[in-house]
Amino acid sequence: MKFLFKHVLQHPSHYLILSSGFFIALILLFVFRFEPFIQRYIIYLVAGFYLSWGLYHHYQRGDLHLTIMLEYLIYALLAVLVATDLFS
């Protein structure tokens, strides 16, 4: 846990962008709570945002590898599956 806080303090702008994107997505999901098609589109956009953010973050750190790319892709797809099931 200590490593996580140290890492966030080293890259505050990266994590501010990530948390802001998630916060905006939550607001949009609430605003469009009666529009399942739009909610699904928001979920896809957030998953793409998360994937893009992760790849950019690790590229900037200099440790972007295939395993990291696959990890972010798998988490994004899993989140899409879970969220579309929750919001459908």
Which tens digits make up the pLDDT trace of 45-83? 999 999 999 999 999 999 999 999 999 999 999 999 999
Tell me the backbone φ, ψ of residue 34, rounded to 5 degrees. -105, 15
How many domains would you assign to the chain? 1
Q: Which domain does 73 fall in, by range?
A: 2-86
pTM of the model: 0.90
Average pLDDT of the chain, as a whole number = 93
